[in-house]
Amino acid sequence: MTHRNIYMTDELQAIYDQTVEFVQREVTPHGEQWELDGKIPREVHKKMGELGMFGLRVPVEHGGLGLGMLASATFSEALGASTFGGFDVSVLVHTENMTIVAARTSTENRYGITMFLVPAGTEGFSVAKKLDKHGWRCSDTAELVFDNVWVADDQVLGTVDRGFYETMRNFQNERMVLVGMGVGAAQVALDQTLEHVQHRPAFGGHLWDLGAIRQRLAMRQAELDAVRASMYHAAWIGDVGEDNVKEMSGVKAYGAEVINNIMYDCVQFHGGMGYMRETPVERMSRDARILPIGGGATEVMLEEVAKRSVIA
């Protein structure tokens, strides 16, 4: 089996190949309609669950595969190849029947937050308004209303007043997954743009004949390769039990910038068609805009790097 990078094992490569095949079969043919619908059919998530895609990092004793951050990086990059960022994130947050609510439960500790499982149909719980987003159009985002909602003790997820800290334990994985999805999408965008400029007639030849375009695309590919390599390295650091906050924060900040620059150039080199909704790069450019914001804004990520770069 040919591995995609030095961190790959046969198991991780199989996860990548299986995910790409699933995306091509179950997602790509239907993604445009999901963008219009503003949601992903639950049946798609059920199929992914049956294939074990939702249990990569779940401990074996709880029915998962017990893998680490390298598995998340591999899976998220393969998901990104779908070109539908809204689908990618829906895999991480799907709340049709159950919503996880973070609520303040301590008046003394500002971090005193508890996570609750709130089923759909709970008395006093309702959806007020669906939010109209710039990108990630096929992921469902809405305002939630809680009017004297009561839940049972067994609907507490984790430990009372420890929800913030429990969430923080997954921050680095969340940041890496967002970068991974962006890397997968950016590679598709570059590949599609390369094919376009090689065939697009211009100035007695093709766009590819223009050195400025060739070199820009070459540099963007080099930058993307650097982000991908850094992402897998940061994941490996986490998997061997070392603190990877500095590395992961740097990858998140730099990767989000690189991915958005790639999308900008891909739209530019598609010309007028790149501005049309029917062109995948138009959608991918909108989806990429959330990357410097979600999962830790770029400014916050750079502060994390700076704090850990000070020489005592």
**Cα(297)–Cα(93) distance, rounded to whole angstroms?**
19
174 is catalytic: yes
Please give the Cα distance from 19 to 177 (Å, whole number).
Answer: 14
Q: C-alpha distances in angstroms, 196 versus 29, 108, 201, 205, 209?
A: 21, 59, 10, 13, 12
What is the tens place of the pLDDT at every residue in 211-265?
999 999 999 999 999 999 999 999 999 999 999 999 999 999 999 999 999 999 9
Tokens of 167: 């969430």
pLDDT score for 62: 83
Are the beta carbons of 179 and 124 closer than 8 angstroms?
no
pLDDT at 94 (0 to 100): 53
Q: By the 8 A CB rule, do 288 and 259 touch?
A: yes
pTM metric for this prediction: 0.89
d(C-alpha 248, C-alpha 301), whole Å: 9
Q: Which domains does the chain have, with CATH numbers?
A: 10-92 (1.10.540.10), 98-161 (2.40.110.10), 167-307 (1.20.140.10)
- Kindly name the residue from 26, 32, 166, 174 that is annotated as catalytic: 174
Which pLDDT band, with edges at 50, 70 and 90, does 168 fall under?
confident
